[in-house]
Chains A and B, each alone.
Chain A
């Protein structure tokens, strides 16, 4: 009898240990954070703005550039020659390595990453409140998240799918996956019609998100409004969207809202900018307090290398000459002379035009532009 009791003691102790230790397995394994208050939601949304921009592939596929067929003998592994040619020739762009800037891989990943961040924020907000759109602390983030989702899908559908034609024709064009759920497993099949919609359907969903968020924006809640969807940027996005959709009435309405009563005050002061040195020019262009900068996006891009290779340029003209076996570079960027001042081509400055108005703020870009001519 005594012996049996003694044998039970270890089992009792085991049970005690179990109860004590189970909750310790919930402790965080490192200094990661959780999204559990409105302040963290808005900080999370700060990271939703992509660090990539489709400027290079869009510019190469567009009308502005001309192939001069003369260049330093960039061997095919130079990062700025391989896929540029494919983009210019409207071929499938696949001649690049994973992780290279400005490639379709990077654009796809960073824009969908922003969408994933927006969806995580929306999910977190729904856990904090039953009606985040009317919650005074979450409403502005709710608006920003929906605008982000709309904007990022808007860029993606224009880069990777057909342009919008009209309601019936675009319903037949295959679009992109419209993602409004957080991905929680290793692989999800986005080609499933549940996700991948026609271009018309994608536009419909974008419109829904824009309308959900455009009225909820509150500039006062942003620390640096120019890097977020402020009122002007939100209205500008809506205006641009309706422009693409050819709903001109709504376009005019939102454009008027964005420009306000005195549009002239919102314009960039080109006249005073063109005589400054390169550094001040850059600083002024990227100034987050300038009223003309509706939305700024800090990105990594090798846009400038596309021009410094001297092959694609704004004008047709010799940009490099070949003497014996050596190439002498005459002009960089085609046409304009880089002697420390960005002299415009015919008085107009060319800096790549992209789908929405963004500014290139990569360190690689800036350092190259800072270097004096060879």
Chain B
């Protein structure tokens, strides 16, 4: 009996074991989240060593067929730690939560998409890895970090946005700016500044950056959406790409406090990097000018702008009755002594105008959470006394907080209703040198800015013979740069606030409903204060001031006013006392309301289907107000005295001294997306969006716009035939997409119906004044969006167990219906009109390669190489620009060439008198017979130099680190950026008349001096007064300007820059354990913008990225930063 029972038991066991060993069974089970026992949908189960896969369904269940016994299952899911378990039928698997890895998801601002299902071209970067030390504006840190994203720092002043292009330009006259989305909310620019204006140096650029109020420590990651598949969700404004910023969130069950402190010091620029004459060489040129009839007493003593010589002549006439002597004795010995002192003075303007002040940036953040709510809150303070000796300080205060709370859970413990709230705000107070807007004289080609006191531009352009403590003459009255910086400045205040609320409701496991409301307000107040003692204010009194009565100046000073109604009137001052206060207010209010329903389900373990449908309404209102406070007595307690003559002049010139205007953009959109994936190998995605705006007027025809995208991907890695290669080739995925996206085009084209505006009629007398309504633009019922078809093909590869990761994308774009100018017959009232008549095409490639070169025994060396190429061409544009537009600045648009191309006049050598010659529009060799206004056949007589935007760009980054348990970890980062393929116009320094105020480059040493020199040199002569009389001053000015814009004055824009070198030391945990409360500590020292490893020699120190346009522009400085990070 007993034996029988034992035998049957043995036999039963034998049978079972055999069955288990040989048979292939079906394994099914359920996956749960360890935190809250929720079943998890979308988790991946893979039988290790095979291609047998399944995905969990709505209830967390999965079924695998033909599984060998003893098989090991690999269970993985986004946001969870991967587990390996033995296969067992009916098993329950608990997954532990883990941080979502950046590489696993793509954030598009509205949802997180599993990277495996993503079919578009997008790149995500960790904010901490790319942060540039000492740069408080987060947009600058994207430079070189993402393939396809080109960031050009046209100016380094805080608040000014760099020029950012994703895959190049997408419009000829429009913006091509990418869209900033922060946590699902679109961050609009405070003011609409076009890409051409970003480089202008006008004070408006200081409020052009939409993200200047964000603290870089609050940011978790950036995701850049590049092709149509990602941007179809955002519709019209996303034609230039989308940059999605995700801020930090609190984490469950862990509270932490983090402090980051940054101290930055900047290096002063030095004359060693520029090629400017020293005072001795400069004096040599002055002596030549003196011999040629310039710098003589008769034309200097009452001249508008004078320096060394002018001051000398003024001192000769200045009699001091007390001492009974003149300022300078009129003897040859005294004059020579004065000039000799100037010759050896060699003032170092960079040293005097720049400082090594220290910028501080402190931020503190608190984050924590329970399993029902998570919170993150941070504040930061930035104080920067400025890199100039005065008037460049920046103080910024930010706060940022977000919290999420699970309100309801159902019986099973699944989330039913969750709410998220967030608020973000910043206040910035900034000073900048006083500046007026830049103007171009289209007849002579001169670009100038009145009363410019930009310290960098002053240091570069001012003669080193001048004494920094003396008042020289500008605009007929005393001028000293240090005093002027004190009395003439811009005061900027920017306040921004953002509120956001989100509600998420999950009625069923598959469905979820999401609602979002957000509001963003920004107030900018800019005051340009021209105080009583400022040169700009005194210029309005020069010649008529009681102490300074001078009839010659009085008759020449264009700022004085002569009363037209009185035929015997003499010029009078319209600002007899006090100064001027210009005020500009720019306010913006942006509201968004969004409602979305999403569906997510898995069928039969292999089919994944998700989709969403949504609607969005947004309204952006911008108001701009300007006021001119004329006659404000800064030194007299702020009393105002406005002389009536000023008002009279305003009326007669038809200028307004105050005004308010607004723009309003309302957008309503419906969108949907469907995504289907089969067996984690094939994915198909479709997006559709239908949007309408009020911008194109009341016409219903052109108001609505459909955009769409189809894309797919094929993941080879999960194919059966890839099993053998898994050891060295761990991922191969092909992606492809095709889309139609569109944009409303340049913001000043909104004439679906005729636009009527009001203005004052031009009348010679105020008694005849009338207001009129005029047609600003005829109606165009055919006005429509600018459109773009884009195809993108990409491949993601991963070798050697992810030690080598490669991403490659190639794309082509066809932009059509772009706004361009066309000539009509004109009998309708407008001959040249803007309409959707232009076309453009572009294409490019993007390559990203990341390698882990060495990873052994705590020592690690990783490299990242990024290369992007972007080329574009205008294929159809009937009406080109004028010659002056193509040769100055950043170039302009012409059919058959890139969107912004720079052309040059063909240099024809110097003539026998040393004057510069070019070939003009008739093909003749000429000195000054040039028509800058020409619009026909431009590419026949102008020489094409190249595009003004780089055609290839990228970066190379190396990180070496050593980790040890006892000593902590030390790492070294070397980050190099490069760009090229474009051309840069050299600074226009040549002129028919030089003053004794300006500094000249050393190239002048090789100038034409005597007959015959034209065979050996191309630097033109210092023109003599006789030549100006013979040729005509207008002719010679044009000749020298044509030389400034000729083939002689152009350089390649290629450069390689050592962007950042940083050493970071992270303290070991063991040391920190001794201090009870510090959990993490690290110290970093970095040198940013160190030097240019390569740049075209012709630039002679001119930075290929920075546009030196004066005003408020400043180059990005070389700086050294020390950062301390503490975690508690």
Contacts and interface: CB of A to CB of B under 8 A. Distances in A.
B550 interface: no
Interface string B776-790: 101111100000000
Contact of B666 (A11, A24, A109, A277): A24
B778 A361 contact: no
A27 B668 CA distance: 13
Given A10-B513, A97-B931, A186-B780, A3 B507 contact: yes
Interface string B874-889: 0000000010000000
**Of B755, B775, B920, most A-chain CB atoms within 10 Å:** B775
Contacts of B837: 186
Contact of B828 (A3, A34, A99, A179): A179
B833 interface: yes
A31 B623 CA distance: 10
Given A117-B775, A361-B764, A112 B661 contact: no
A26 B507 contact: no
A322 B768 CA distance: 45
Nearest to A181: B828
Interface in B671-711: 692-695, 697-698, 703
B597 A10 contact: yes
Given A17-B593, A46-B773, A75-B929, A227 B617 contact: no
Interface in B742-779: 750, 754-758, 761-765, 767-776, 778-779
A71 interface: no
Contacts of A190: 825, 827-828
Interface string A86-126: 00000000000111100001001100111111001000000
B1029 A298 contact: no
A187 interface: yes
A227 B770 contact: yes
A33 B756 contact: yes
Contacts of B596: 10
Contact of B662 (A31, A120, A177): A31
Contacts of B770: 46, 223-224, 227
Given A109-B829, A177-B827, A186-B822, A6 B757 contact: no
A366 B826 CA distance: 30
Contact of B595 (A14, A176, A277): A14
Nearest to A77: B931
Interface size class of B (residues with CB under 8 A): 35 or more
A165 to B, nearest CB: 24
B771 to A, nearest CB: 6
Contacts of A44: 756, 772-774
B829 to A, nearest CB: 3
A296 B765 CA distance: 13
A29 B772 contact: no
A47 interface: yes
A6 B507 contact: yes
B827 A195 contact: yes
B567 A25 contact: no
A286 interface: yes
A185 B775 CA distance: 15
Contacts of A296: 768
B661 A120 contact: no
Contact of A30 (B595, B664, B670, B934): B664
Interface in B580-632: 593, 595-597, 613-615, 617, 619
A51 interface: yes
Contacts of B755: 32
Interface in B246-288: none
B832 A98 contact: yes
Interface in A249-283: 277, 279-280, 283
A183 B828 contact: yes
Nearest to B622: A30
Nearest to A46: B772
A279 to B, nearest CB: 4
A112 B828 contact: yes
A301 to B, nearest CB: 12
B824 interface: yes
A286 B832 CA distance: 33
A282 B826 CA distance: 34
B831 interface: yes
A76 B564 CA distance: 35
A296 B767 CA distance: 14
A182 interface: yes
Contact of B694 (A25, A185, A189): A25
Contacts of B826: 108-109, 112
Contacts of B778: 116, 183-184
B440 interface: no
B809 to A, nearest CB: 35
A75 B1035 CA distance: 9
A246 interface: no
A6 B833 contact: no
B928 interface: yes
22 contacts: A7-B511, A14-B615, A17-B593, A17-B615, A18-B670, A21-B668, A24-B619, A29-B664, A29-B694, A33-B756, A33-B758, A43-B758, A46-B772, A46-B773, A97-B931, A112-B828, A183-B779, A186-B824, A188-B827, A189-B825, A224-B769, A279-B567
Given A43-B773, A183-B827, A190-B828, 8 more contacts: A13-B595, A14-B615, A18-B668, A20-B617, A46-B770, A182-B754, A184-B781, A298-B761
Sorted nearest first, the 8 A-B pairs with minimum C-beta distance are A183-B828, A6-B507, A116-B829, A10-B597, A47-B774, A46-B772, A113-B829, A97-B933
Interface of B: 507-508, 511, 513, 515, 564-565, 567, 593, 595-597, 613-615, 617, 619, 661-666, 668, 670, 692-695, 697-698, 703, 750, 754-758, 761-765, 767-776, 778-782, 822, 824-833, 835, 837, 882, 920, 922, 926, 928-931, 933-935, 1029-1030, 1035
